[in-house]
Amino acid sequence: MIDTIERQGAYEIIGLLDGGKPVGEQVYGYRVLGDETWLADRNNQAGGAIAAIGDNWTRGLVVRGISRIRPELPFVTAVHPAASVARGARIGAGSVVMAGSVVGSDAEIGEHAILYAGSCIEHDSRIGSFVSLAPKAATGGNAAIGDYTAVAIGASIIHGVAVGEHCVIGAGSTVVRNIASHTVAYGTPARAVRSRTSGERYL
């Protein structure tokens, strides 16, 4: 995420918020300032934020926590210059499109989604908020992915197929039929293996 923001060149990183690291620790040259409560005392120093957390559910919790502390603070969108975003595509606040990723024409990416390196959302697809596509994961055109769903490395979702909310699609899977919400599915063709609850760990 830091690499994407640096290379985009639109924002200056003033520091990192991480409650799991000591204040003052350096991460890729940036100082850990504290946890989210740092924002409450320094209203004029941060002009925006982005949640650099891989787990979709945890990213949602952090975003909601920041919004409670600083409801007016905008979340920025980061697009690596080596990504390809076609005309008509829309990318929501707080989302990240990493190097080598492709967003096709008229595709729509929700808020706080992560498209990892080399992933692809094809034309007219609709991707919800807090979704993640791992490297080389891809959709055909007119696909749909619900909020909080994780699509693992190399998985493919064919044209016109819908995957519900809070799903996990296993690595290397090929999704050829709709997948209901709260489902773990994998294989070629992908089949529902079990149900899952909102917030259940997958990483």
123 in active site? yes
d(CA 74, CA 123) in angstroms, rounded, equals 27
d(CA 114, CA 99) in angstroms, rounded, equals 12
Give the Cα-Cα-Cα angle 33, 39, 36 (nearest 5 degrees): 70
Among residues 80, 112, 123, 166, the one annotated as catalytic is: 123
Question: Is 153 flagged in the annotation as binding?
Answer: yes
- R_g (Cα) of the chain, nearest Å: 17
The HSE-up count of residue 57 (CA atoms within 13 Å, CB side) is 13
Query: Which runs of consecutive H residues, i.e. helices, occur in 45-190?
Result: 56-69
Question: Is 50 flagged in the annotation as binding?
Answer: no
Residue 154 is given by DSSP the state T
Q: What residues are labeled active site?
A: 123
Binding residues for substrate: 54
